[in-house]
Amino acid sequence: MRRIQDLQILHFVQNIYMKLLVTGGAGFIGSNFIHYWLKKYPEDMIVNFDTLTYAGNLENLKDIENNPKYKFTKGDVCDRDTVFEAVKDCDVIVHYAAETHVDRSIMDPDIFLKSNVFGTQNILEAVRKYEKRLHHVSTDEVFGALGSNDPAFNEKTPYDPRSPYSASKASADHLVRAYFHTYGIKMTISNCSNNYGRFMFPEKVLPLFIANLMEDKKVPVYGDGLQVRDWIHTLDHARGVDMILQKGKIGETYCLGGQHEMTNLELTKTLLKVMDKDESSIEYVKDRPGHDRRYAIDFTKAKTELGWEPQIKFEDGLLDMVEWYRDNQEWVNRCRSGAYQDYYKKQYIER
């Protein structure tokens, strides 16, 4: 493959295409990014690098498994040799791979530090050695919590992580910037608000609630339910990463938000309405430790410099998500039971 020096012109010059390495590409956000990219740039090559933990599911990509422009490589970002082998033949690395569930990080922080910090360092070392272009995907949770009248997070907001998960992601962000300043690697970072959409693992709030309601079970709302989150459709997120790769300035960070703040209780009531349920389905449970009160993203920089802003209305995206989960009950049940681990091993790994 031709060695490319200026990756920002790749899709503006005829007959020049990219080979992307997407870490964590079998997960919820990564798999949606792969679908998005191959649909928009069908001549590009995508290598999906994933260790296939409980949340990495190759069924998410079943419809493209025979696409000659798509390849799956089973690998762990904590395995330095495997990372280096995967990185050296690609032009761009989009680094999604991470442990992401806050509750799990509270119960067992170790794996979050290993994957999110030391795994990211392996990626950085490979990027440095082979002089590749890196985009690191992060979260708004690194900024901590906002008061009800505080301005939204932006690229200048100081970091104040409040859970082992967000602390591990903050550490990874700092490492990426340090490698830019120290070694001059070509990198960008995005900090994004809460994603939603198809293929979201059932332990997360929206798919958990959807699955419970389809089974006429109650949905657990933490505390008073007045924690505020900003929701962005995962395809709007994918488009934001795309525009950062095409137009973003090396060394810079871009915040991507959905422009849709709502309390967890409002979220729950909206979902109840979509699924034709009433508020008797709500069960209030004890709040979790370190539960941030409000997140919100100011994406002015991305809008001004990249021309990006969210396009999918929350209500439309939520309805599509509910319908997808209704139509894919076997996928949901396998995820919830863990049975898909054996399923994809038989369907994909051993064939």
In the annotation, is 165 catalytic?
A: yes
Q: Which of 141, 173, 230, 292 is catalytic?
A: 141
3-state class of 131 per DSSP?
coil
CA 173 to mean position of chain CA atoms: 14
Q: Which of 96, 165, 196, 254 is catalytic?
A: 165
Query: Long-range pairs for 327-335 at CB < 8 Å and ≥24 separation?
Result: 329/214, 331/57, 331/59, 332/202, 332/207, 332/211, 334/59, 335/57, 335/201, 335/202
Q: Which of 140, 236, 292, 298 is catalytic?
A: 140
| DSSP tally for the chain: helices H, then strands E | 13, 12
159: exposed, middle or buried (C-beta count within 10 Å: 0-12, 13-18, 19+)?
Answer: middle
In the annotation, is 350 catalytic?
A: no
Distance between CA 50 and CA 222 in Å, rounded?
Answer: 32
Q: How much is the CA Rg of the chain, to the nearest whole Å?
A: 20
The residue ranges of DSSP E strands in the chain, in sequence order, are 19-23, 45-50, 70-74, 92-95, 133-139, 186-192, 194-196, 219-222, 228-233, 253-256, 261-263, 282-285
Active site residues: 140-141, 165
